[in-house]
């Protein structure tokens, strides 16, 4: 009889952590991991590479460092579709692979809400390739200014003042002194504009923390357009609603779209019942009607019982879900049916404002400034340690704790 086959899709926070832990279970099962790249990337650090404050090499490590080849097989390929009736997954190059149990952890994609022009003209902070494009675009535009002298080349518009938008602005404004020096540009010619549809920046935090974060970024030259949703992106810039009746336009050389995410498109293409690409999973992380499939991370949706609203998709949740997915996949492989339920334990949230500054709430306590930025580095290093291990953390970790 062939061994039970567990297939894991995605080697991010959720998928790679589950594989690592399952390898320790010593199951009599075949473990297969599929990921489009042969490296794991720290999604939570992508904004740094986008702004050019961190070399992209620093936020990736080879998946083979985690895969134990005696227990698991790694397939580098792109998942195209999940065929639930056949219990197979279609891969771009390898064709179809079968599974007995499947874990989907394919992360997210940028949510464009159908706004015209975004797919064509805006860049997103979603992968190593996409953030390399952002860095190159800004540098290209700054280099062009010398010969073309068009000031809009120096305008950067960031759509969305959520966590990703704010963290990117923190890094970008930290890099700006070096950028203007390199390209010999007067600083006052550079415009960095953040457009936010909601009446408030980062509504998750209380007003004092938000005011601190906004004033830090404003002091570094960011202009906030709050309550002004982006309506269209064009080859020349952005159209936005200035008020209920009026639309205005700003010309810009670079447009970054950081206004939310949706679950990986593979979910909807495979016919799962989903909202914005996220499947409302059972408490034990299985899919209603397909209990041989578990979904974790940004492709899953879990309701917060305290307010009946979905938890925002975060690495913190994906990693906690990985712990439960490990237990449940091990039980399923052993033929046990008493699966355990997932319960989220919020430890806190920190939003960086560049390397030395941040705002956050940790274990219920508000933090801002340098102590918050130290906490953010500790959180980043912890993820490296838990998934990559001690050597990876020693090599890639953030240890510059001095101001
Ligand atoms: P990911 O970790 O994104 O992994 C998905 C994996 O699937 C990747 O390896 C990808 O290459 C692979 N993949 C995707 N599509 C395919 C395909 N078709 N075929 C094969 N492989 C595929 N959360 C926090 O808790 N704290 C933070 O500080 C934080 N900071 C963030 C900063 C930024 C800039 C961003 C963008 C997000 C941040 N988040 C943060 C959110 C967090 O990164 C995500 O919630 C988390 O990465 C989700 O984990 P995951 O395992 O679902 O997906
Ligand atoms: P988000 O949903 O947190 O924020 C998106 C922002 O874009 C919102 O404020 C929204 O009002 C705004 N927006 C939407 N449509 C708009 C429009 N047309 N014009 C202008 N603004 C518009 O999304 P995100 O920042 O992309 O983050 C994605 C997920 O990753 C979230 O769950 C977040 O919590 C998580 N994350 C966490 C951290 C952290 O913990 N440090 C960092 C980055 C991301």
pLDDT of residue 271: 98
pLDDT of residue 403: 59
Flag whether pLDDT at 402 surpasses 70.
no
pLDDT of residue 401: 75
pLDDT digits (tens, 9 = 90+) for 74-92: 999 999 999 999 999 999 9
Report the share of the chain in percent with pLDDT over 70. 99
Counting ligands in written order, the one closest to the CA of 263 is 1
Is 167 considered catalytic here? Answer: yes
Cα(161) to ligand 2 centroid in Å equals 7
pLDDT of residue 363: 87
Q: Which atom of ligand 2 is nearest to the CA of 160?
A: 7
Dist. CA 256–CA 194, nearest whole Å: 9
* Domains of the chain with CATH codes: 4-110+262-345 (3.50.50.100), 118-259 (3.50.50.60)
Cα(159) to ligand 2 centroid in Å equals 9
pLDDT digits (tens, 9 = 90+) for 147-203: 998 999 999 999 999 999 999 999 999 999 999 999 999 999 999 999 999 999 998
Answer whether 171 contacts ligand 2 (Cβ < 6 A): no
Answer whether 198 contacts ligand 2 (Cβ < 6 A): yes
Q: Which of 8, 9, 44 to mutate to test the pocket of ligand 1 (most atoms within 8 A of CB)?
A: 44
Choice among 42, 48, 109, 167 that is catalytic: 167
Q: Which atom of ligand 1 is nearest to the CA of 78?
A: 19
Ligand 1, atom 14, lies closest to the CA of: 106
């Amino acid at each position: 009889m062939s061994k039970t086959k567990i297939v894991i899709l995605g080697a991010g926070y959720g998928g790679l952590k589950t594989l690592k832990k399952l390898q320790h279970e010593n199951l009599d099962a075949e473990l297969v991991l599929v990921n489009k790249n042969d490296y794991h990337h720290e999604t939570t650090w992508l904004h740094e590479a986008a702004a050019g404050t961190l070399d992209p090499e620093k936020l990736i490590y080879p998946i083979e460092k985690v895969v134990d080849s005696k227990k698991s097989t790694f397939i580098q390929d792109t998942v195209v579709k999940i065929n639930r009736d056949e219990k197979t997954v279609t891969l771009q190059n390898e064709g179809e692979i079968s599974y007995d149990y499947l874990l989907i952890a394919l992360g997210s994609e940028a949510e464009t809400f159908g706004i015209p022009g975004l797919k064509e003209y805006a860049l997103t902070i979603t992968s190593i390739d996409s953030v390399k494009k952002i860095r190159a675009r800004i540098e290209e535009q700054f280099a062009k200014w010398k010969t073309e002298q068009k000031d809009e080349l120096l305008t950067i518009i960031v759509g969305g003042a959520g966590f990703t938008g704010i963290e990117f602005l923190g890094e970008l404004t930290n890099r700006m002194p070096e950028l203007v020096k390199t390209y010999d540009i007067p600083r006052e010619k550079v415009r960095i504009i953040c457009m936010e549809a909601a009446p408030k920046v980062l509504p998750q935090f209380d007003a004092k923390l938000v005011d601190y974060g906004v004033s830090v970024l404003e002091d570094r030259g960011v202009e906030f357009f709050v309550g002004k949703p982006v309506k269209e992106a064009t080859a020349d810039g952005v159209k936005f609603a200035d008020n209920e009746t009026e639309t205005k336009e700003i010309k810009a050389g670079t447009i970054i779209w950081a206004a939310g995410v949706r679950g990986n498109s593979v979910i909807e293409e495979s016919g799962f019942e989903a909202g914005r690409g996220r499947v409302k999973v059972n408490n034990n992380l299985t899919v209603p009607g397909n209990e041989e499939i578990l979904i974790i991370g940004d492709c899953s949706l879990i309701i917060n019982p305290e307010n009946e609203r979905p938890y925002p998709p975060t690495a913190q949740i994906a990693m906690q879900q990985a712990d439960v997915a490990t237990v449940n996949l091990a039980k399923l492989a052993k033929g046990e049916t008493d699966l355990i339920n997932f319960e989220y334990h919020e430890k806190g949230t920190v939003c960086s404002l560049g390397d030395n500054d941040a705002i956050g709430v940790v274990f219920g306590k508000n933090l801002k400034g340098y102590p918050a930025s130290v906490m953010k580095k500790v959180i980043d290093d912890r993820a490296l340690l838990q998934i990559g291990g001690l050597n990876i953390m020693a090599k890639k970790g953030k240890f510059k704790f001095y101001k």
